[in-house]
Structure formats: structure tokens, C-alpha cells
């Protein structure tokens, strides 16, 4: 592999695994509760609880009074909610611009964001996010959404953009503004959020993204090399994590 791609991989691997704002890139691996797989496309991505800046500032958590039984399951809708679409247009622009303050303003807990230096390192080789689309499901808590964001990342030195799919939980705060949730979910909300990956329309979306990803990799040797190395590192990290959990 060319040296420049090795450097890109080393600088972006940890960020690709995701940090801070509940972003999960997903695959259609249906083993063990259809677990989500962290995307190799996402730099300064955002899964909960890893490498974020932990402080004592409380996050905004949706308050559930009485949860309906059984819980409703809504259809996925593409770009159906303008406020949601605008939220993620701002989010991905802020990531492209390396604008930490702008990202903070979009989170329910603004402390769950990287420092300027970390963000700069993690996005150094990202030129832009292309073809951003939101696929949203209403949450069972009023004013909340489960959002799958399709995007294509244009990496520096690689011609073909890399398709990816990231997952977010969006809430309405006390001022009526939409925020990307960045706190700890209550158990019933978390279970509902995770279960949506099994919905037929979500599985179809995941399969579509995977198909586009495979086609992109097939048609670009540089992207293929980048992908192979990222997958290798991800597998090593996963194996190491399993060993530590056994111990």
C-alpha cells in the first residue's frame, strides 16, 4: 500500500471508530441482535462513551411519563422533516469546517465534543461530505427522532467518495430546538433505539448503503486499499476488546 494511505489510516482509525454524539454506522450483519458495526467511513464520528470529554455538566434527557404499550414503530422517511435535514446539514458543514463551537451548539450536551486539535487531526484528510440525506423514524417519546444519515466522504487523494450510514438520536430541547442527543439514554429508550436496526425498511437502507460501498471500492483501487487496511485494523481492535472482556 502507498505510504500516504497508511498515514491516513493511522490518523483516522480512532476517530472512525466514533465518539461523542451517538453516531453509529451500521451494517447488515444480523448476528446477535443485529449489532451495529462501526463504519470505516466516519472520521470524527460519534458513538457514545468513547474518548469523549467527560464533565459533570448534565445532558438533556427526554422525560418519559407513561410509555405506550406496545410501543409504536414508525416507517422510515427520507428527508421528510426539514428541521432534521437542516440540523444535519449544519452538523456536517461544521465537521468539514472543523468548527468545534458550531458542533457544540448542535449537541444536547456540548461537552461531548473533541478539542479543536483532535477534530483537526481526525478530519485532516476529509475534503467534504457529499450527498447527505436523512432517513428518519419518529421516536416513541414526543419530539424525538431516530435518524439514519446517508453520506459520502471525499477523502484527500482518493477519487471515489466513500458511502456511509450513521445513526443519531435527535431530541427537542426545552427551548423547542432540535439537538443531537449526546447523553446517556434511559434503558427503554436505548432498547427501542437499538431495535430499530431490525426494522425491514432500515435493513433495506443498510443493504443499499453496503451495495454502494462495495461498488465504490470495486471501482477505485486506492479506496480498496484504504478499505482493506481499515477493516484489518478494526478486526484487530475488536479481537483485542474481546480478549480484554474475557480477562
Predicted confidence (pLDDT) per residue in 87-117, tens digit: 999 999 999 999 999 999 999 999 998 889 9
Check if the beta carbon of residue 166 is closer than 8 Å to that of residue 42: yes
Choose the most confident range, by mean pLDDT, from 9-18, 20-29, 157-166: 157-166
Q: Calculate the average pLDDT of the chain.
A: 77
Tell the residue number behind the cell numbers 470505516, with chain if given: 40
Choose the most confident range, by mean pLDDT, from 15-24, 121-130, 182-191: 182-191
Question: What is the per-residue pLDDT across 24-74, written as a single tens digit (0 to 9) for each?
Answer: 344 444 433 443 333 333 433 333 322 232 222 333 334 444 455 689 999
CA distances from 2 to 7, 156, 198, 224 (A): 9, 14, 39, 12
Q: Which three cell numbers stand for residue 181?
A: 442527543
Check if the beta carbon of residue 130 is closer than 8 Å to that of residue 149: no
Say how many CA atoms lie within 13 Å of 185 toward its Cβ.
Answer: 23
Q: What is the pLDDT at residue 239?
A: 80
More confident residue, 172 or 46: 172
Q: How confident is the model at residue 233 (pLDDT cuts 50, 70, 90)?
A: confident
Q: How far apart are CA 177 and CA 174, in angstroms?
A: 7
Q: Render 126-187 in DSSP notation, one character per residue.
A: EEEEEEEEEEEEE-SSTT-EEEEEEEEEEETT-SSPEEEEEEEEEEE-TTS-EEE--SPPPH
Q: How confident is the model at residue 210 (pLDDT cuts 50, 70, 90)?
A: very high
Q: What is the pLDDT at residue 11?
A: 39
The domain limits of the chain are: 3-234
Q: How far apart are CA 17 and CA 52, in angstroms?
A: 12
Q: Which three cell numbers stand for residue 242?
A: 474481546
More confident residue, 157 or 9: 157
Tell the residue number behind the cell numbers 440540523, with chain if given: 87
Residue 172 has pLDDT above 60, yes or no: yes
Domain 3-234, CATH:
3.10.450.50
Check if the beta carbon of residue 144 is closer than 8 Å to that of residue 49: no
Amino acid at each position: 500500500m502507498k505510504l500516504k494511505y497508511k498515514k491516513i489510516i493511522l490518523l483516522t482509525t480512532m476517530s472512525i471508530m466514533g465518539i461523542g454524539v451517538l453516531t453509529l454506522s451500521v451494517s447488515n450483519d444480523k448476528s446477535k441482535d443485529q449489532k451495529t458495526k462501526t463504519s470505516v467511513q466516519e472520521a470524527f464520528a460519534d458513538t457514545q462513551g468513547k474518548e469523549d470529554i467527560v464533565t459533570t455538566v448534565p445532558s438533556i434527557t427526554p422525560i418519559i411519563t407513561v410509555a405506550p404499550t406496545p410501543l409504536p414503530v414508525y416507517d422510515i422517511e427520507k428527508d421528510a422533516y426539514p428541521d432534521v435535514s437542516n440540523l444535519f446539514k449544519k452538523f456536517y458543514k461544521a465537521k468539514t469546517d472543523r468548527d468545534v463551537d458550531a458542533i457544540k451548539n448542535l449537541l444536547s450536551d456540548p461537552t461531548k465534543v473533541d478539542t479543536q486539535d483532535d477534530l483537526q487531526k481526525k478530519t485532516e484528510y476529509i475534503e467534504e461530505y457529499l450527498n447527505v440525506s436523512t432517513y428518519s423514524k419518529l421516536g416513541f417519546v414526543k419530539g424525538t427522532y431516530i435518524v439514519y444519515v446517508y453520506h459520502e466522504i471525499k477523502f484527500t487523494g482518493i477519487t471515489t467518495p466513500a458511502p456511509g450510514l450513521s445513526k443519531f438520536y435527535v431530541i427537542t430541547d426545552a427551548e423547542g430546538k432540535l439537538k443531537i442527543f449526546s447523553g446517556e439514554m434511559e434503558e427503554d429508550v436505548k432498547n427501542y433505539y437499538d431495535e430499530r436496526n431490525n426494522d425491514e425498511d432500515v435493513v433495506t437502507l443498510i443493504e443499499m448503503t453496503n451495495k454502494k460501498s462495495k461498488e465504490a471500492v470495486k471501482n477505485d483501487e486506492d479506496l480498496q486499499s484504504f478499505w482493506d487496511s481499515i477493516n484489518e485494523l478494526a478486526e484487530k481492535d475488536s479481537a483485542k476488546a474481546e480478549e480484554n472482556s474475557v480477562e
